[in-house]
Amino acid sequence: MTSAATEQTSTRSTSGASTAGSGGTVATTGGGSGSGGLASSHGRTTVADTVVQKIAGRAAREVSGVHDFGGGASRTFGAITERIPGGRASSSRGVTVEVGEKQAAIDLDIVVEYGVPIGQLAQSVRRNVIGAVEQMSGLEVVEVNINVNDLHLPEEDRADESSEPARVT
């Protein structure tokens, strides 16, 4: 990578990621390595894959129209896990990431609410995920691939509610 490209990457990454209260990343010095605040003369910060998974999953859930994550088997397993006392759904189900030193790539498997325009939803999810991951981790998100696995119909909720036996009698 040329020094001009490195400088441009550094400027783009740090300008989007520097907010008041970000405190968790180390600030870069001028002419830095383009790592968006993850390396400095005082040390290096690494961000684990699971951290990026959780950030991306949470950011995608915030977008109206995203009903759930994962394929059929992972959603079934998640539904069983949620019903176990003390169990809860995994925030990383349906979210796969590849994290390098400076960049991250994210794959999302989502279920969309019926009636929501999928193209517009994908743009909103992409924008929200990229913004959250770049701001919180300092990594540059190079791609967010979205796979729509299913469509959630409103009558599915009513069918689920009527078929469930009461937990307490």
Please state, rounded to an integer, the average pLDDT across all residues of the chain. 74
Question: Domain check: are 65 and 95 in the same one?
Answer: yes
- Do 21 and 56 lie in one domain? The reply is no
Same domain, 1 and 72: no
- Asked if residue 159 and residue 96 are part of one domain, the reply reads yes
Q: Are residues 40 and 75 in the same domain?
A: no
Is residue 169 situated within a structural domain? no
d(CA 38, CA 53): 18
How far apart (Å, rounded) are the C-alpha atoms in residues 50 and 122?
A: 22
Instruction: Report which of 53, 51, 59 is spatially closest to residue 25, judged by C-alpha positions.
Output: 51
Q: Residue 62 has what DSSP assignment?
A: T
> Which candidate, 61, 50, 53, 51, places its Cα nearest to that of 128?
61
pLDDT recorded at residue 166: 57
- Residue 70 is predicted with a pLDDT of 86
Mean pLDDT, residues 140-160 taken together: 88
**pLDDT tens figures, 52-80:** 999 999 999 999 999 999 875 444 544 55
Give pLDDT, residue 28.
30
Same domain, 38 and 88: no
Same domain, 66 and 33: no
| Per-residue pLDDT at 83 exceeds 50 | yes
Examine the pLDDT at 115 and tell me if it is beyond 90. yes
Q: Evaluate whether residue 123 is within a structural domain.
A: yes
Per-residue pLDDT band for 125 (boundaries 50, 70, 90) equals: very high
CATH number at residue 102: 3.30.70.1350
* 107 and 39 both lie in a single domain: no
How far is 91 from 132, CA to CA, in rounded Å? 15
Q: Quick one: 26 and 55 in the same domain?
A: no
Q: How far is CA 32 from CA 43, 46, 47, in A?
A: 12, 16, 18
Number of compact structural domains in the chain: 2
**Same domain (yes/no): 15, 95:** no
What is the span of the domain harbouring residue 71? 46-163
pLDDT at 40: 85
pLDDT digits 0-9 by tens, 6-53: 333 333 333 333 333 333 333 332 333 334 568 889 998 899 999 999
Same domain, yes or no, for 77 and 159?
Answer: yes
Q: What is the mean pLDDT of residues 92-119?
A: 94
Number of neighbouring beta carbons within 10 Å of residue 50:
13
The reply to whether 168 falls in a domain is no
Place of tokens 């079934």: 76
Indicate whether 67 and 141 sit together in one domain: yes
| CB of 66 closer than 8 Å to CB of 125 | yes
The two three-digit tokens of residue 87, written as one number: 């169990």
Residue that terminates a domain, selected from 10, 27, 45: 45
